[in-house]
């Protein structure tokens, strides 16, 4: 895909599409068309199920994954021509006409992504004076050059001598000795950041440099002075304080006791190895795996060591080979998430609960249950394990969001062994209740992971590094508890109260793990109504009013990722299948089935469905880190529209205990 050069959403902007023609469609005609569209979508989704019972769509992010994969292989000395050629083909195909690379479809150019993509293409043999490379280097220089890139980008360059280690923030391995009650201990970081930072402490201590095969003077505004430096912030500010702490850590490096440092690196290595998953990966995500492999290699693990061999093999499984020979690297894989969402969609669309596909999906999900303790137990040491993770293998880090949705999915299935389902649901529900944060809400992986300090570190200039409670995760938990007959449970009521207090003045809710206010609102309204909040409640009516106010003229809904930091984009963007579905799920839960907004939204889904029952969606509607790291879940465009159409045709699922109300 190639984004527009001006960073806009193109001709299909927030209100640019043609008006819907639903006014000429009778309700009966629309009902019939929606039912037919749902049937086509069911057939399409059933056809995509794996023989083992799971679903998984591609998880598309940006070219930094592909660039860093090549840099890793170059660093380890295992870069092969076929991988290089295929990765370069993909990276070239993602370049914008102005020479830059973006981090999401239709978005603006990103400096760090462009630097990393450029370096990867140099590794692939692209000459710096080739037209596409010259455009890229000129774009980088115009934005300050390498010196303005993120810390993580400059770490990759430092590995090859393209940047000085002395000019990077210090990250001492002694950090692993800090107790869990001490500020800035590793458990103050979100699990994804924790898994990355621990190996990077080893890399920071070792400061390796492998000879670079070429220079990068063309990416500096002044090659003779590549790092002009930045002035210190005022000492009384948090930024100024941590900048001065970093200077102190650089001084400490010179006097750090060797035995203490060696002991710290050994503890870090043991911590890393203990958290390697059965498939060789770390946390089921690519970045921690990459840095863990580098750290262990620096500590003497050769590439034939079982830990290293399994780690490298796991990275190969993140590669998606396309028909044109290009190779895209996924940052993560989402089979549990995709499978539970697909199960819910099919069940809500009317697939019978004992259908073989649903039973097979339930069997697979039951087999993925996590029954061992992970890092979450640092904050909840007495809590028995339970729940589900996002990936194929990630037993150290189950997450609350997946657990809630898997329970909802399992309850949609009539399994031949109901006692097995009940036992797994009971364990998952107990674990979820135990992971509630003090404020009554839920984060994704940890309880009360809300320290304000980690994000202040000079090292952490990319993405969210803590895991505070969010409206979307809390909503999914509240919805699950309500469907389990626990709408009146004290924890559920605390969650409901928190959600009501978190509503934005406009009537929407912020979406932490999906884009953005449409996702948050589409998650919260069904949860509130499931938990017994009346449809006439002022919060529900404000949400309905907001959704109606941001509906596109074509009948769909869309929201650009820039809504995370630009107010004018909130609720605005080209219509997408997944975001239209989220809006419809909220409106249907609010009792708006017969409204004009719902009719137009359903008509948009029907009209944009492809002949094979699927929908197309180039836009990114998933979120890793708000704004900084965006995701295109390729199955979102299938499961959420089907769920919305299913609920439009068949009605809302009724929570346990409210059947007769």
**Catalytic residue flag (residue 401):** yes
**Contact residues for 218 (Cβ-Cβ < 8 A; gap 6+):** 128, 137, 141
CA torsion sign for 162, 166, 170, 172 is positive
121, 91 contact by CB (below 8 A) = yes
Q: CA torsion, points 438, 440, 445, 446, in degrees to nearest 10? A: 10
CA 367-38-542 angle, to 5 degrees, is 90
Q: In whole angstroms, give the CA distance from residue 186 to residue 1.
A: 38
Nearest CA to 577 out of 539, 543, 541, 620 is that of 620
E-strand spans in 280-318?
none
Q: Give the DSSP H/E element, type plus range, for residue 321.
A: strand 319-321
**Contact residues for 10 (Cβ-Cβ < 8 A; gap 6+):** 4, 106, 574
Q: Is 219 helix (H, G, I), strand (E, B) or coil?
A: helix
* Residue 121, both tokens: 């293409």
648, 602 contact by CB (below 8 A) = yes
CA torsion sign for 394, 399, 587, 18 is negative
User: Any alpha helices (H) in 349-466, and if so which ranges?
Assistant: 356-367, 400-410, 418-434
Q: Between helices 577-589 and 538-549, what is the axis angle to 10°?
A: 150
Q: In whole angstroms, give the CA distance from residue 351 to residue 362.
A: 14
Q: In whole angstroms, give the CA distance from residue 163 to residue 153.
A: 10
Q: In whole angstroms, give the CA distance from residue 115 to residue 183.
A: 34
Q: In whole angstroms, give the CA distance from residue 538 to residue 562.
A: 28
Q: In whole angstroms, give the CA distance from residue 336 to residue 340.
A: 6
Which position among 69, 338, 401, 402 bears the catalytic label?
401
Give per-residue burial for 72-98: e unless 16+ CB within 10 Å, then b: bbbbeeebeeebbebbbbbbbebbbeb
**Half-sphere exposure for 530 (CA within 13 Å, toward CB):** 29
Which residues does residue 388 pair with via DSSP β-bridges, in sequence order? 399
Q: In whole angstroms, give the CA distance from residue 274 to residue 610.
A: 47
Q: Give the DSSP H/E element, type plus range, for residue 328.
A: strand 327-329
Q: Which residues are catalytic?
A: 401
């Amino acid at each position: 895909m190639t984004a527009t050069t001006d960073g806009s959403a193109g001709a299909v902007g927030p209100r640019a599409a043609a008006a819907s023609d639903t006014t000429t469609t009778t309700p009966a005609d629309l009902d019939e068309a929606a039912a037919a569209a749902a049937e086509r979508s069911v057939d399409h989704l059933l056809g995509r199920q794996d023989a083992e019972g799971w679903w998984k769509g591609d998880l598309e992010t940006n070219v930094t994954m592909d660039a860093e994969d090549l840099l890793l292989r170059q660093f380890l000395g295992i870069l092969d021509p076929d991988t290089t050629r295929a990765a370069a083909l993909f990276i070239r195909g993602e370049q914008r006409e102005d020479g830059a690379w973006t981090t999401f479809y239709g978005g603006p150019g990103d400096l760090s992504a462009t630097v990393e993509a450029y370096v990867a293409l140099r590794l692939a043999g692209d000459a710096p004076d080739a037209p596409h490379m010259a455009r890229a280097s000129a774009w980088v220089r115009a934005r300050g050059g390498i010196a303005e890139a993120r810390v993580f980008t400059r770490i990759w360059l430092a590995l090859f001598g393209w940047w000085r280690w002395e000019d990077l923030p210090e990250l001492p391995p002694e950090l692993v000795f800090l107790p869990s009650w001490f500020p800035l201990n590793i458990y103050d970081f979100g699990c994804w950041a924790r898994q990355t930072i621990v190996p990077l402490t080893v890399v920071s201590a070792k400061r390796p440099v492998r000879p670079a095969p070429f220079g990068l003077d063309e990416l500096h505004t002044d090659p003779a002075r590549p790092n002009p430096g930045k002035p210190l912030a005022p000492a009384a500010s948090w930024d100024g304080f941590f900048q001065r702490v970093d200077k102190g850590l650089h001084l400490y490096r010179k006097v750090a006791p060797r035995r203490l440092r060696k002991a710290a690196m050994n503890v870090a290595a043991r911590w890393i190895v203990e958290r390697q998953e059965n498939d060789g990966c770390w946390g089921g995500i690519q970045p921690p795996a990459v840095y863990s492999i580098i750290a262990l290699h620096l500590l003497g693990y050769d590439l034939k060591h079982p830990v290293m061999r399994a780690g490298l093999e796991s990275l190969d499984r993140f590669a998606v080979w396309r028909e044109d020979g290009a190779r895209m690297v996924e940052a993560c894989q989402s089979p549990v998430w995709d499978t539970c969402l697909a199960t819910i969609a099919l069940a809500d669309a009317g697939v019978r609960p004992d259908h073989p596909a649903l039973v097979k999906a339930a069997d697979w999900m039951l087999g993925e249950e996590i029954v061992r303790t992970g890092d979450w137990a640092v904050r909840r040491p007495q809590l028995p394990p339970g729940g589900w993770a996002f990936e194929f293998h990630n037993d150290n880090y189950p997450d609350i969001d997946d657990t809630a949705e898997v329970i909802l999915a399992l309850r949609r299935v009539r399994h031949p062994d109901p006692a097995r389902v009940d036992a797994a649901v009971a364990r998952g529900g107990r674990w979820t209740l135990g992971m509630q944060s003090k404020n009554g809400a839920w984060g994704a992986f940890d309880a009360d992971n809300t320290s304000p300090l980690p994000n202040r570190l000079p090292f952490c200039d990319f993405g969210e590094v803590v895991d505070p409670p969010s409206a979307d995760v809390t909503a999914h938990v509240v919805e699950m508890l309500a469907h389990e007959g626990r709408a009146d449970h004290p924890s559920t009521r605390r969650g409901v109260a928190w959600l009501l207090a978190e509503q934005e003045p406009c009537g929407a809710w912020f979406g932490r793990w999906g884009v953005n206010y449409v996702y948050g609102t589409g998650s919260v309204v069904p949860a509130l109504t499931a938990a017994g909040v009346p449809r006439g409640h002022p919060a529900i009516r404000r949400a309905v009013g907001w959704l109606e106010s941001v509906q596109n003229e074509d009948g769909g809904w869309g929201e650009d990722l820039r809504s995370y930091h630009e107010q004018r984009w909130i609720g605005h963007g080209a219509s997408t299948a997944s975001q239209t579905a989220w809006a419809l799920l909220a409106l249907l839960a609010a009792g708006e089935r017969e409204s004009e907004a719902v009719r137009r939204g359903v008509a948009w889904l029907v009209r944009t469905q492809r002949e094979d029952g699927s929908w197309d969606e180039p836009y990114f509607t998933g979120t890793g880190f708000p704004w900084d790291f965006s995701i295109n879940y390729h199955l979102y465009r299938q499961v959420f529209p089907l769920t919305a159409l299913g609920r439009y045709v068949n009605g809302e699922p009724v929570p346990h205990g409210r059947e007769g109300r």
